[in-house]
Structure formats: C-alpha cells, structure tokens
Amino acid sequence: MGEFTDLFRLDGRTAFVVGAGSGIGAASARGLADFGAHVVCADLAESHARATARAIEAAGGKADVVRFDVRQASDTQALLDRYGTPDVLVHTPAINVRKPLLSISDEEFDRVVELNLAGTFRLVRGVAAAMADRGSGSIIVFSSMRARVVEPGQGVYAATKAGVVQMLRALAAELAARGVRANAIAPGVVETPLTDQIRADAGWARAYADKNMLRRWARPEEMVGAVVYLASDASSYVTGSLLMADGGWTAADGRFDPPL
Ligand SMILES: NC(=O)c1ccc[n+]([C@@H]2O[C@H](COP(=O)([O-])OP(=O)(O)OC[C@H]3O[C@@H](n4cnc5c(N)ncnc54)[C@H](O)[C@@H]3O)[C@@H](O)[C@H]2O)c1
C-alpha cells in the first residue's frame, strides 16, 4: 500500500447526489458508491433514482432513495433531517430550452432560471450551511462549457450555467475557512436524455462530435473521474475551480485546422 493509494477513497462518507435518476447524476452516484460512499440518490423521478440505487446495491454498494424537488427549499431541509449532513453534495438537474432569445417567452425563461439557478441556490444554501456548521464538506455542481462559449439558441441556459459558476466561486470564498470546498464541472457534449434532441439530428450530432478535440461525444461515465476527484481528499487544495471535462472543446476555437 503506497502513501497515496487511498487518496480517492470515500469509505465512511455520505454523498447526496441530486439528479441521480439519469445521465451524469446516475453515473456519479454509481461512481461515488464504488469508491466507498453511502449514496443518497435524490431525484424528482423517484423510480429512476431507485433504479440507480438498485444498480449500486447490485454492485455491493450502499444507497438510499429519495423523491426530491430541487425547487423546493423544504425538500432540502427534509433531506438533511433524514440523512444528516453529507460529506459530499453532487448536483446535476438542469433544463435547456433551445431557442433564439427573441423567441423565448417569460414562462420559458422563468422555468430554466427557476431550476438551473434558483434551484441550485436553494439546495446549495441549505447543504452548505449544514456542512459549514460541522466544519467539512465538498460541494460539486454541474455547470457546462456553455458557461464559457455559446452558440445561437443557448442564451438563457448559458446565462444560468455561467451564473452557477460565479455563485460557487463566491461560496468557496465564503466557506473556505469553515472547511467547505465548492467546485463546478463543465462537461462538453454527453450522451444523456438532456441531449436527445441534438442526437436525433445526425448532422447536429456529428457537428458536435467534430467540434471537440477528441472528435466524439462523452459517455456519462466519463464524468465520474472528475466527480470522485472533487469529492475526495485527492482535491483537498482545490476550491472555487471550474473543471473542464469537454474533450478540449473550449481550448481551441476550431475554425480551421492548418495544413501542417
Ligand atoms: N448532457 C450534456 O451534454 C451536458 C453538457 C454540459 C453540461 N451538462 C450539465 O450536466 C448536468 C446533468 O445533465 P444530464 O445530461 O445528466 O441531465 P439529465 O436530463 O439526463 O438528468 C437530469 C436529472 O435531473 C432530474 N431533475 C429534473 N428536475 C428536477 C428537480 N426539480 N428536482 C430534482 N431532480 C430533477 C431529472 O429527473 C433527471 O433525472 C446538467 O446540469 C447539465 O446542464 C450536461
């Protein structure tokens, strides 16, 4: 056993994974459990969260299931009352209405902001307060490469994704002295239900694959390494960061490959 062998282990720790019923949240929950965490799988779609918990248990891990609406502050309090203060919070729920800004209705704007930004705020405020009282914790929120770069039709979503990064940075600064770390992850394009609309259009799907350096979409499981890293002591000196997991999309402008 080397000095660093257990750096990523999460034995004896509890992780709340909100959005555990699908895509990146489901993969994150399974990954955290594989590293030893007791995972509370929370999702509006309770039956989907249950399927994730069953997969964890089938693999020998520990999991619970909760129906949870991130838009309700009372649900966060109920989660804390039931399971205590977690060591790790992973938060994924977000929606995207892909339309030009001039076509976005007030209702659509409010719906995206209410879940992506206000929902994140309410959940993080509740859990971070409990973590700060105890003096430890790691908060991981899913942003997006759309926090950095946009295209037509991404205006409101991108604003919320940039917003959560700034919110997490402020939280990291406010709570560092109380033992709480807060970081965001920015995926590129990941094969989940959130991007079904894009993959239903072969030209759109191919264009997205070609835009990143790896020239392909990610599987949700490819986000697990980033989550476990930020959840564990491996990232003990990392807070207020935005970890790009975008296949290199935002590192190159992609307009032209010179004939070299
Ligand atoms: N998939 C991608 O290509 C991609 C790219 C960049 C960023 N992201 C970000 O990653 C995160 C996860 O995306 P995903 O693709 O796994 O999404 P997803 O749609 O597959 O899963 C989202 C989950 O959140 C749950 N949910 C929705 N509303 C909820 C609510 N009010 N309360 C509790 N749970 C709720 C859904 O039931 C679902 O299980 C999002 O924040 C998204 O913006 C995804």
186-225 pLDDT, tens per residue? Answer: 999 999 999 999 999 999 999 999 999 999 999 999 999 9
- Domain boundaries defined on the chain: 14-191+222-244
Share above pLDDT 70 across residues of the chain, in percent, rounded to a whole number: 100
Q: Which of 111, 120, 123, 142 to mutate to test the pocket of ligand 1 (most atoms within 8 A of CB)?
A: 142
pLDDT band at 9 (very low <50, low <70, confident <90, very high): very high
Q: Is the pLDDT assigned to residue 144 strictly greater than 90?
A: yes
Residue 185, pLDDT > 80, answer yes
Gap between the Cα atoms of 210 and 214, Å rounded:
8
The pLDDT of residue 42 is 98
In this prediction, residue 254 carries a pLDDT of: 77
Q: Which of 83, 157, 208, 229 is catalytic?
A: 157
What's the pLDDT at 100?
Answer: 98
pLDDT at 50 (0 to 100): 98
Averaged pLDDT for residues 90-100? 97
Residue 141 is predicted with a pLDDT of 98
Q: Candidates 67, 70, 112, 192: which one to mutate for ligand 1, based on the most atoms within 8 Å of Cβ?
A: 192
Q: Select from 195, 188, 196 the least CA-distant residue to 216.
A: 188
Go through the chain and tell me how many residues it has: 260
Range 14-191+222-244: architecture per CATH: 3-Layer(aba) Sandwich (3.40)
For residue 33, the SS3 value is: helix
pLDDT for the residue numbered 253: 87
Q: Looking up tokens 């914790």, which residue turns up? A: 137
pLDDT on residue 48:
98
For the chain, count helices (H), then strands (E): 9, 7
pLDDT at 1: 79
Ligand 1 shell residues, CB under 6 Å: 18-19, 21-25, 43-45, 48, 68-71, 92-94, 115, 119, 142, 144, 187, 189-190, 192-195
Q: How far apart are CA 87 and CA 197, in angstroms?
A: 35
Check residue 125 and give its pLDDT. Answer: 98
Confidence class of residue 45 from pLDDT cuts 50, 70 and 90? very high
Q: HSE-up of 86 (CA within 13 Å, CB side)?
A: 35
- Per the model's pLDDT, the better-predicted residue between 11 and 255 turns out to be 11
- And the tokens for 83? 């399971």
Minimum-distance ligand 1 atom for the alpha carbon of 27: 16
Beta partners for residue 185, in sequence order: 142, 243
Statement: residue 61 has pLDDT above 80: yes
Average pLDDT estimate for 13-42: 98
pLDDT at position 201: 96
Give the model's pLDDT for residue 255.
81
Question: Which residue's CA is minimally distant from atom 43 of ligand 1?
Answer: 94
**Average pLDDT score over residue span 10-36:** 98
